[in-house]
Amino acid sequence: MVTDKTLGFIGAGNMGEALLKGLLNTKAARPEQILVSARRPERVQELVRAYGVRGGENGDVARDADVVVLCVKPQILDQILRGISADVSREKLIVSIAAGVPIAAIERRLHPPMRIVRAMPNTPATVGAAATALALGEHATEADLATARTIFDSVGLTVLLEESQLDAVTGLSGSGPAYLFLIIEALADAGVKVGLSRRASMQLAAQTVLGSAKLLIE
C-alpha cells in the first residue's frame, strides 16, 4: 500500500534505516514524506544524502510528521518521550519498535488518549525479509493498523497479535535469527570437517535454511 502520510523516524540506526529503505524501495512512500532524527547530526546527514529524506531534531520530526516511529533503544525511550511530548499532538499516530516497552508506558509520557501501535520486527528487516508482529493500543483505529502494515509490510511479513503476546514474539522471531545463525554455523563446521571449503560450506548451509523455510511457507 502507498501512504500519503508524513513518516517521522526518531532514531535511525539499523532498524530505522531498514524501515525507511523498505518504504522507499517498495515505493510505499516518497523521500520527501520521510523525516529522520538521530543522536549524531552526521548520522542524519548521511541518511539525507543516501536516501534524499528530510533530516531534523527529534522535536522537528515529532511536530512535522503525521506518524512518529520510535526507533531508539528501549532504555532511552522514556527520556526521548519526555523530550518530544510538547511537540506530539493527539492527532499523531505513534508507532514504537522498542523491545519490551508497553504501550501504556508510552501513552503515559504523552497526552492520553493517544493512538499507539507497538511493533516487534527482527533483523532480517535489513534485507527486506522481516517477521514483524503488531499490536494495537486501545485507541488505535483500523486506519492506524493499515498505516502500520504499510510500514512493516515494506520490509517483510506482518502479523497482528495482542500486546500481551509480544514478549513471546521477542523470544521467537526477535531472537530467532541468532539461533539460526548458530545452526548455520554448526552445519558449515560439519561440512568443513568432511572436506568442504569454508566458503562453499557456508553458502550451502545458509541456502539450505533459506530454502527449507521457503518450502515450509509455500
Ligand X SMILES: NC(=O)c1ccc[n+]([C@@H]2O[C@H](COP(=O)([O-])OP(=O)(O)OC[C@H]3O[C@@H](n4cnc5c(N)ncnc54)[C@H](OP(=O)(O)O)[C@@H]3O)[C@@H](O)[C@H]2O)c1
Contact flag: residue 24 with ligand X (CB under 6 A): no
Contact flag: residue 173 with ligand X (CB under 6 A): no
Span from 93-101, 155-163, 184-192, 202-210 in contact with ligand X (CB under 6 A):
93-101
Contact flag: residue 14 with ligand X (CB under 6 A): yes
Contact flag: residue 98 with ligand X (CB under 6 A): yes
Which one among 10, 23, 117, 136 touches ligand X, defined by CB under 6 A?
Answer: 10
Q: Of 105 and 196, which has the nearer Cβ to ligand X?
A: 105
Cell output for 43: 548520522
Contact flag: residue 168 with ligand X (CB under 6 A): no
> Dihedrals φ, ψ of 46, to 5°?
-60, -45
Contact flag: residue 71 with ligand X (CB under 6 A): yes
Within the chain, where are the H helices?
Answer: 14-25, 41-51, 58-64, 74-84, 103-109, 142-153, 166-169, 176-193, 198-217
- Tell me the C-alpha distance between 117 and 54, whole Å: 23
CB of 101 to ligand X, least distance (A): 7
Q: Of 76 and 146, which has the nearer Cβ to ligand X?
A: 76
CB of 130 to ligand X, least distance (A): 8
Which one among 7, 12, 169, 205 touches ligand X, defined by CB under 6 A?
Answer: 12
CB of 106 to ligand X, least distance (A): 12
Contact flag: residue 135 with ligand X (CB under 6 A): no
Q: Give 102-107's long-range contacts (Cβ < 8 A, gap of 24+).
A: 102/163, 103/135, 103/137, 103/138, 103/163, 105/78, 106/70, 106/77, 106/81, 107/137
Contact flag: residue 74 with ligand X (CB under 6 A): yes
**DSSP assignments along 102-159, one per residue:** -HHHHHHHS-SS-EEEEEE--GGGGGT-EEEEEEE-TT--HHHHHHHHHHHHTTEEEE
Contact flag: residue 102 with ligand X (CB under 6 A): no
Which residues are at the interface with ligand X (CB under 6 A)? 10-16, 37-40, 43, 58, 71-74, 76, 80, 97-99, 120-123, 174
